[in-house]
Amino acid sequence: MNRVMIAGTNSGVGKTTVSIGIMAALKKRKYKVAPFKTGPDYIDPGFHKYVTGNPSYNLDSYILNENHIKYLFVNSMNNHKDIGVIEGVMGLYDGFGVTSKIGSSAHLSIITQTPVILVIDATGMSNSAAAVVLGYKLLNEKVNIQGVIVNKVSGLEHYKLVKEIIEHDTNVRCIGYMPKNSDISLGSRHLGLIPAEELASLEVQIDKLVELVEECIDIDELIEISKQTSPLSYNQKIYDDFLYKHENVYKDKRIGIAWDKAFSFYYQGNIDILQRLGAKIVQFSPLQDKKLPDNLDSIFIGGGFPEVFAQQLAENTGFKSSILEYLENHGKCYGECGGFMYLSQGIKNLEGITQDMVGFFPMICEMTVKLQRFGYIELNVNINEKNYNTRAHEFHHSKMMKQGNQLDHKYQIEKYRDDKLIRQWQCGLEKKNTIAGYPHLYFLSNLELMTCLL
């Protein structure tokens, strides 16, 4: 299974642009690329899918155990893929806590036994670039750094100088560069890059990026590095036993999933496990559809940017009425983050204007300049008198403002750092047959919990 990880020295170093460009260049060469993203990000996988034509899987070593990660990776690669490309997260060694490297790109590269291509920013550097690469190489020698891509060079001569220095002092080869001040821009907003679905000129930008990558990065060398791997093994019985246990629960079950520009934050692994159980996925759009599809057994409203499209969501009164009727009549529903906001009375923007949402939960979601929650959490929820624990992730610029009576929260949440409890709070609501809250869940972390939610 040929594979390579594109990791960076830090956030903002350019690893996402480089990763997308490499994936697109490989696709242009007729390679069947299996894309992956380190950690809980939803936006980058959308770009991966756009350029490769294949779904991208999140590999998160905090939320998922090693067996789950290998299961996701191997099953994606076994589907006739030629090469796996894993995009890193933040800096190579940035993970969960101070002493723990769980959740980091480095940790994931060790679990998946994947060679690493390190992206560095060479702005204003020559000899110091070697110190950067050597530091990353020596910090953990289990991390197999096999190549360097030098970003933001002032020109070819600058790259040649930095390349000679790095290779002489670190014995790590440079396989290419990206020039400073290129006119390639993917755009960003408060949660990161603007999703691929919203960028009208994306195809033009990707074409420019591929041309640049082909000119400046040695793709043949990257392919050779990707071959320096060995097979991964994992315990398949865990998943076979679960599928057997629930094969009649989900067979032919119609699960509606909200999917449009406002709602697109879903783990591909979550959708896959539902389909493997025999469920039929029915997509619907709260932005465009006039009403909820008929004969749904349950619905899943994931995260996204409902605040960006709040006016359009508010004006689609027919759809809001149909989903409210479904919920009030005990239709089963699970919502997270953006979906949670959509089920509220309304979304209040930074100018103080509130757009009406579905109106199912007695609260308003108020947008804030400051990030309210960010990071990994431990979540406990009681459903049908049984407790379920799972790891999850939160990332949002809004907060709940109750309307009327006290809210009865469904989720008990704890946040740890290096095994030390640093914060506790409550979140999530339950009403009739609907459970929703800010946390994003990866179903593989607790498959039995999934069966209670959908």
Domain end point (choices 205, 226, 247) = 226
Catalytic positions: 337
Same domain? 362 vs 421: yes
Any idea what the CATH number is for the domain that residue 398 is in? 3.40.50.880
DSSP 352: S
Does this model's pTM top 0.85? My answer is yes
Is residue 231 in a domain?
Answer: no
- Tokens standing for 103? 């959740």
Any idea what the CATH number is for the domain that residue 218 is in? 3.40.50.300
Domain end point (choices 170, 198, 226) = 226
Q: Which domain holds residue 416?
A: 237-453
Same domain? 31 vs 148: yes
Same domain? 203 vs 250: no
| Residue of 300, 301, 302, 310 lying closest to 265 (CA atoms) | 302
Q: For residues 357 and 313, is the Cβ–Cβ distance under 8 A?
A: yes
The pLDDT, as a whole number, for residue 189 is 43
Same domain? 56 vs 197: yes
What does the alpha-carbon distance between residue 218 and residue 82 come to, in Å, rounded to a whole number?
18
What does the alpha-carbon distance between residue 96 and residue 422 come to, in Å, rounded to a whole number?
13
Domain end point (choices 207, 226, 245) = 226
Same domain? 219 vs 83: yes
The pLDDT, as a whole number, for residue 100 is 78
The pLDDT, as a whole number, for residue 79 is 80
Cβ partners under 8 Å of residue 409, min gap 6: 426, 427, 428, 429
Same domain? 104 vs 170: yes
Burial class (CB in 10 A: 0-12, 13-18, 19+), 347: buried
Burial class (CB in 10 A: 0-12, 13-18, 19+), 307: buried
Q: In whole angstroms, what separates CA 154 from the centre of its chain? A: 32
Same domain? 285 vs 431: yes
Same domain? 277 vs 208: no
pLDDT in tens, the chain (454 residues): 999 999 999 999 999 999 999 999 999 999 999 999 999 999 999 999 999 999 999 999 999 999 999 999 999 998 889 999 999 999 999 988 777 789 999 999 999 999 999 999 999 999 999 999 999 999 999 999 999 999 999 999 999 999 999 999 999 999 999 998 666 666 554 445 666 666 657 888 899 999 999 999 999 999 999 999 999 999 999 999 999 999 888 999 999 999 999 999 999 999 999 999 999 999 999 999 999 999 999 999 999 999 999 999 999 999 999 999 999 999 999 999 999 999 999 999 999 999 999 999 999 999 999 989 889 999 999 999 999 999 999 999 999 888 767 678 999 999 998 889 999 999 999 999 999 999 999 999 999 999 999 9
Same domain? 215 vs 272: no
The pLDDT, as a whole number, for residue 223 is 98
